[in-house]
Amino acid sequence: MNIVVLDGYAMNPGDLSWDPLHALGAVTLYDRTAAQEIVPRAANAEIIITNKVPFTRDTIAQLPRLRYLGVTATGYNIIDVAAAKERNITVTNVPAYSTESVAQLVFALVLEFTHRTGHHADAVRNGRWSTNPDFAFWDFPLTEISGKTFGIIGYGNIGKAVAKIASAFGMNVLVSSRSGKTSQVLKTWEVSPNITFTDTESLLRRSDIVSLHCPLTPQTDKFISASTLELMKPTALLINTGRGGLVDEQALADALNNGRIAGAGLDVLSTEPPSPQNPLLSAKNTIITPHIAWASFAARTRLMDVVVNNVRAFLSGHPVNVVS
């Protein structure tokens, strides 16, 4: 069985083992693959593993031996699933492998805003504490999040994990979900009585922190826009560890630069890597991390395990995590 991994470096830059995959067939590994290299590299592949390398209808048509496409991520919008299904090609993804890590980064971003830990640590290293006339100093307001309102848009696995952490911090949690469920329906099994389900407009108006965890669809594309930002408190923070396309980046940059909202913590942008001209890279009160929420060692270990198990299950004739 010929197995080709087209962009394995992001998942495994060298600290994980490919041996379990090698046990399932003849494996060819590529760290990265450009668009013009896809067909030549995958020409003889029966199984292809991809993260961000796209498979359009035209590309799939040029790979007559292809039987299986394994996406090393939860989202699989890089695959023309309809074209794969017409060819009876199995497409799988990896759900829920990074839930805990993404939820953790949400609060890393929140806490960086509330205490500016990095800035104050640098100030100490640069000698400012040693020369300070008082026993303590701070350059930014220090904010206690207990009692604040944390709004979560999208209530899948990650949204639930974020809600649990926010509740543990003593925050009041508002949730807006596509399901339209209410707190009355869910109160018997929710993790905390601090969680209330509400409509999105009310959530935006009432929340001190808004965190995005909904999928990117035609309905949610640029959902955070000039009009939705107008609903938010001027003291509010926006956190996005979901999809960059959920945000109208120019509108958000304008809102930050104009003081319409207090800050934004972002782990995703609409194009990655971003153009140097992306307006958010120079916007005020913005913390941007390079799409690392998913990438903890623990999460990538789980990811590798599921990727290999998906292939193993396919070869056994009982595929799992099928999206095609």
Active site residues: 243, 272, 291
Which amino acid is residue 60, in one-letter code?
I
Q: Is 158 helix (H, G, I), strand (E, B) or coil?
A: helix
CB within 8 Å of 163: residues ≥ 6 apart: 150, 152, 155, 173, 175, 191, 192, 195
| Burial grade of 193 (CB within 10 A; 0-12, 13-18, 19 or more) | exposed
Which amino acid is residue 229, in one-letter code?
L
Specify whether the CB–CB gap between 287 and 116 falls below 8 A.
Answer: no
Other beta carbons less than 10 A from residue 150's beta carbon: 29
Other beta carbons less than 10 A from residue 276's beta carbon: 7
Distance (Å, rounded) from C-alpha 224 to C-alpha 264?
12
CB within 8 Å of 36: residues ≥ 6 apart: none
Phi, psi of 263 (to 5 degrees): 180, 165
Structure tokens at 59: 């590309």
Q: What is the DSSP-derived secondary structure letter of residue 17?
A: -
Q: Annotate 38-97 with DSSP letters as a single string.
A: HHHHHTT-SEEEESS--B-HHHHHT-TT--EEEESSS--TTB-HHHHHHTT-EEE--TTT
Q: Annotate 278-303 with DSSP letters as a single string.
A: -GGGG-TTEEE--S-TT--HHHHHHH
